[in-house]
């Protein structure tokens, strides 16, 4: 929501400068996202009138103009604009003027002295491009300072409103808030109705009263659709982010911004029969004002005539009945559409409109007549014409139930003494009805506040208007005890720091993801959102990989060739009628294994680099068992096993997905249950032996498809008490072995804490290990 500060101050003008006003709004719950001037700094620019315009004697493209700048004598200015002509009123920069990027001086142009410059909107910094001089209104006062005439010292304030504050999506609503926050009088908007001058009406039927409890319409005949929109209205529209189109459309947009009531004008000549507010029927479609044809579904509310839908109710009008340059008669509508009847429909169709934005959050259902009166007055004043009587259809409007606020409860929750009379006055300033009742206030919320339903909502309003800055900070007075923390469990920050120490950087990605990502990267069915923010964020993630790959690709596109990212976040799984939200650790690595340096040769990160990173978290008991995953390379993927339980996956991204995501290389991915990284157990003390250790190496020949980890596991299970370590240190294939065989060499370290080992004990232990390998895999000692 953006608006003109000058427009706001025309209704309420507290004794605050712009920054103080922005602070007051923010502390009142209406966060100010930005404040920007409507025009860059320039000075000595006045309104001028071109009296004469003649061709330059020595230049075909230049003209010599005699210009009235409000002084006793006209001045001469050489101008190169193609649209320069006698009678135009244009901006004129006088000598000494400082414009964006230039300073104006008296100068000779091809032998003719020029005493200033006639300006385009681009030269003044008011537009990105211009094809000639900026033409002002015919009644612009000659000699008037341009900044004052166009109110260019105004500022645009942008608010970041929360969805519950739809009442502040209008200047009137903002003025009411500012008046309440600053205790300043608010001037009402004049909206005297236009008495009917003709008898013409249009029959209106509301066939969906629950979705449209109030519909108001009015015929206005004989307008001039080509009439010029007043300069003040165009300026207010533009500074609110709306492009002026034509006077009838501008009037409806202006009323929406001023009062918060979206409106629409139909071309009466194009309507066939009466108006019906109903739900769409199967197979119906509509070409909207933006030229897009949309297929309608039965849960969408439409405005229809005898030919079918002519507008998507609360969202956008139809092209067939839109107001055109030759329109003479219009049917003006204002309605209250229930938020649930509008919410999500525009997003589903890929549309966005100011009307839908407001109706989805709730429009003041008591101000519909006021909006119609205001729009009628503006329309007839600007475009002429004669108005007919107002046609209204009313159903069951929302009820505003009284809320009882116990003043003692208010003091306890607020933590500060609030005077009941001051609270009552604050509520009245917000438009509420308030009655005192034995230590309580009975408050009826106004029609424009859909977010006030319970006593706690009123407490929030009372504290907000009292001022959060005025509430003293008091330390808590309560007995506090430290909660037990298992020593065997790591904290989140410890896990994150361990990954940071391994040269990874943390990212936080959206839990809402693209369904295409889920289909490509996950084996689980993703949960679809009923009301997604966007089509590419319409399901809940079942894996962290989608967000990690997207973040990696974002970095690669910005010349970061070595990327290592991780995320600690939840995924969302459904099954057996339940939804689970397990915490996962995920990561991605691409590029060089090490930063560029002299101490190590350059090489790409590989499977075993990332496996080593994971082992720092999950411990030496981690087993990476060969397995296939649809998102991983079939020859470079493994299932991660800890204590016999599958906890996650590790591998290279599948070549098909590397191409799909348009990546310059093959990234390594991992993901596992965070619990396996948190629960690490307590370390146990083992005394250091004073007796010598014995190392024996053995090379076992096994089938080529036997995993080294599986063989190592068998050896560790068969190890006796004197075995301290068994580790793989070599793999050999080639001469002396069959093509279907390989040799795995293990280091076996043996030691006792009480005595020196004998050769017989060592030989017996080695024999037991070889025998266990032979039983499990048919292994033999390599000769």
Model confidence, pTM: 0.71
Report d(CA 250, CA 258) in Å as an integer.
Answer: 12
Do residues 302 and 235 share a domain? yes
> How many domains would you assign to the chain?
6
Do residues 550 and 567 share a domain? yes
| Domain C-terminal end among 394, 411, 446 | 394
Whether 242 maps to a domain, the answer reads yes
pLDDT in the model for residue 131: 86
Read off the pLDDT of each residue in 200-219 and give the average, rounded to a whole number: 95
Report d(CA 547, CA 571) in Å as an integer.
Answer: 11
Helix 247-259 / helix 231-239 crossing angle, nearest 10 deg: 60
Do residues 69 and 22 share a domain? no
Q: How many CB atoms lie within 10 A of CB 641?
A: 20
pLDDT in the model for residue 469: 87
Expressed as residue numbers, the domain containing 62 is: 45-149
Do residues 144 and 235 share a domain? no
Read off the pLDDT of each residue in 117-131 and give the average, rounded to a whole number: 89
pLDDT of 680 higher than 80:
no
H helical segments located in 260-406: 339-342, 345-348, 354-361, 368-383
pLDDT in tens, 310-365: 999 999 999 999 999 889 999 999 999 999 999 989 988 888 899 999 999 999 99
Whether 187 maps to a domain, the answer reads no
Whether 318 maps to a domain, the answer reads yes
Do residues 221 and 291 share a domain? yes
Do residues 447 and 563 share a domain? no
Percent of the chain at pLDDT > 70 equals 100
Q: What single string gives the DSSP state of each residue in 698-765?
A: EEEEEETTS-HHHHHHHHHHH--TTEEEEEEEEEE-STTS-TTEEEEEEEEEE--SSSPPPHHHHHHH
pLDDT of 455 higher than 90:
yes
Q: Are 248 and 378 in contact (CB under 8 A)?
A: no
Whether 381 maps to a domain, the answer reads yes
Do residues 244 and 339 share a domain? yes
Do residues 506 and 547 share a domain? yes
Whether 252 maps to a domain, the answer reads yes
Beta strand pairing status for 214-221 and 391-394? antiparallel
pLDDT of 222 higher than 80:
yes
Whether 567 maps to a domain, the answer reads yes
CATH number of the structural domain spanning residue 670: 3.30.930.10
CATH number of the structural domain spanning residue 98: 2.40.50.140
Do residues 303 and 342 share a domain? yes
Whether 750 maps to a domain, the answer reads yes
pLDDT in tens, 370-408: 999 999 999 999 999 999 999 999 999 999 999 999 999
User: Hey, which residues does 396 pair with through a beta bridge?
Assistant: none
CA distances for 272 relative to 11, 206, 310, 464, angstroms: 41, 17, 10, 51
| Domain C-terminal end among 653, 678, 703 | 678
Read off the pLDDT of each residue in 616-635 and give the average, rounded to a whole number: 87
pLDDT in tens, 61-114: 899 999 999 999 999 999 989 899 999 999 999 999 999 988 999 988 888 889
pLDDT in the model for residue 246: 93
Do residues 224 and 269 share a domain? yes
Do residues 169 and 143 share a domain? no
Residue 129 buriedness (CB in 10 A; 0-12 / 13-18 / 19+):
exposed
CATH number of the structural domain spanning residue 213: 3.50.40.10
Do residues 258 and 384 share a domain? yes
Whether 192 maps to a domain, the answer reads no
- Tokens (6 digits) for 105: 């001086």
Contacts of 459 (CB under 8 A, 6+ apart): 405, 409, 410, 413, 414
CATH number of the structural domain spanning residue 173: 3.30.56.10
């Amino acid at each position: 929501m953006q608006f003109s500060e000058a427009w706001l101050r025309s209704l309420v003008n507290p004794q605050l400068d712009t920054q103080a006003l922005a602070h007051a709004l923010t502390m009142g719950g209406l966060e100010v996202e930005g404040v920007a001037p409507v025009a860059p700094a320039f000075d000595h620019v006045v309104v001028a009138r071109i009296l004469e315009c003649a061709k330059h004697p020595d230049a075909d493209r230049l003209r010599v103009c005699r210009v009235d700048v409000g002084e006793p004598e006209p001045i001469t200015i050489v101008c190169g604009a193609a649209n320069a002509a006698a009678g135009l009123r244009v901006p004129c920069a006088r000598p000494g003027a400082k414009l964006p990027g230039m300073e104006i001086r008296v100068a000779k142009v091809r032998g003719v002295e020029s005493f200033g410059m006639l300006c385009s909107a681009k030269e003044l910094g008011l537009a990105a491009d211009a094809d000639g001089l900026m033409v002002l209104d015919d009644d612009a006062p000659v000699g008037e300072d341009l900044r004052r005439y166009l109110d260019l010292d105004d500022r645009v304030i942008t608010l970041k409103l929360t969805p519950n504050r739809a009442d502040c999506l209008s200047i009137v609503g903002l003025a009411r808030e500012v008046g309440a926050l600053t205790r300043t009088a608010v001037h009402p908007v004049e909206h005297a109705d236009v008495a009917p001058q003709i008898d013409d009406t249009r029959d209106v039927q509301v066939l969906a009263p629950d979705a449209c409890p109030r519909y108001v319409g009015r015929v206005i005949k004989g307008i001039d659709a080509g009439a010029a929109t007043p300069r003040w209205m165009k300026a207010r529209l533009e500074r609110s982010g709306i492009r002026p189109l034509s006077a009838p459309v501008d009037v409806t947009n202006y009323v929406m911004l001023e009062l918060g009531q979206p409106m629409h004008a139909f071309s009466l000549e194009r309507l066939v029969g009466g108006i019906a507010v109903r739900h769409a029927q199967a197979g119906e479609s509509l070409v909207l004002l933006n030229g897009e044809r949309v297929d309608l579904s039965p849960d969408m509310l439409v405005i229809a005539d005898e030919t079918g839908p002519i507008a998507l109710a609360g969202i956008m009008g139809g092209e067939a009945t839109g107001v055109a340059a030759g329109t003479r008669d219009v049917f003006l509508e204002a309605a209250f559409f229930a938020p649930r009847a509008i919410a999500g429909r525009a997003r589903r169709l890929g549309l966005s409109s100011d009307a839908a934005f407001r109706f989805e959050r709730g429009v003041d259902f008591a101000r519909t007549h006021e909006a119609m009166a205001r729009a009628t007055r503006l329309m007839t004043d600007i475009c002429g014409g004669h108005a007919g009587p107002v046609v209204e259809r009313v159903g069951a409007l929302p009820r505003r139930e009284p809320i009882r606020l116990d003043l003692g409860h208010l003091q306890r929750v607020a933590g500060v003494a609030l005077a009941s009379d001051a609270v009552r006055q604050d509520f009245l300033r917000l438009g509420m009805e308030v009655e005192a009742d034995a230590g309580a206030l009975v408050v009826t919320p106004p029609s424009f506040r859909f977010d006030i339903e319970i006593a706690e909502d009123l407490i929030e309003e009372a504290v907000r208007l009292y001022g959060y800055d005025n509430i003293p900070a008091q330390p808590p007075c309560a007995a506090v005890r430290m909660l037990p923390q298992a020593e065997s469990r790591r904290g989140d920050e410890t896990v994150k720091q361990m990954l940071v120490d391994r040269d990874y950087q943390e990212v936080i990605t959206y839990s809402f993801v693209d369904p295409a990502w889920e289909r490509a990267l996950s084996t689980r069915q993703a949960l679809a959102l009923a009301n997604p923010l966007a089509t590419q964020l319409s399901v809940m993630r079942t894996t962290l990989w989608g967000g990690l790959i997207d973040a990696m690709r974002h970095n690669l596109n910005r010349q970061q060739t070595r990327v290592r990212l991780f995320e600690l976040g939840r995924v969302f799984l459904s099954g057996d009628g339940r939804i689970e939200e397990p915490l996962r650790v995920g990561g991605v690595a691409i590029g060089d294994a090490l930063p560029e340096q002299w101490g190590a040769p350059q090489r790409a990160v590989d499977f075993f680099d990332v496996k080593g990173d994971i082992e720092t978290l999950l411990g030496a008991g981690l087993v990476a068992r060969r397995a296939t995953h649809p998102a991983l390379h079939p020859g470079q993927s493994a299932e991660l096993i800890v204590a016999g339980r599958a906890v996650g996956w590790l591998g290279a991204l599948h070549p098909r997905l590397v191409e799909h995501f348009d990546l310059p290389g093959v990234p390594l991915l991992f993901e596992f249950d965070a619990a396996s990284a948190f629960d690490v157990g307590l370390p146990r003390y083992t005394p250091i032996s004073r007796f010598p250790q014995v190392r024996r190496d053995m090379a076992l020949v096994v089938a080529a498809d036997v995993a080294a980890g599986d063989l190592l596991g068998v050896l560790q299970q068969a190890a006796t008490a004197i075995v301290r370590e068994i580790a793989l240190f070599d793999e050999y294939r080639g001469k002396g072995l069959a093509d279907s065989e390989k040799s795995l060499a293990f280091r076996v370290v043996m030691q006792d804490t009480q005595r020196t080992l004998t050769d017989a004990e060592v030989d017996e232990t080695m024999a037991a290990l070889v025998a266990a390998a032979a039983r499990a895999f048919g292994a033999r000692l390599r000769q």
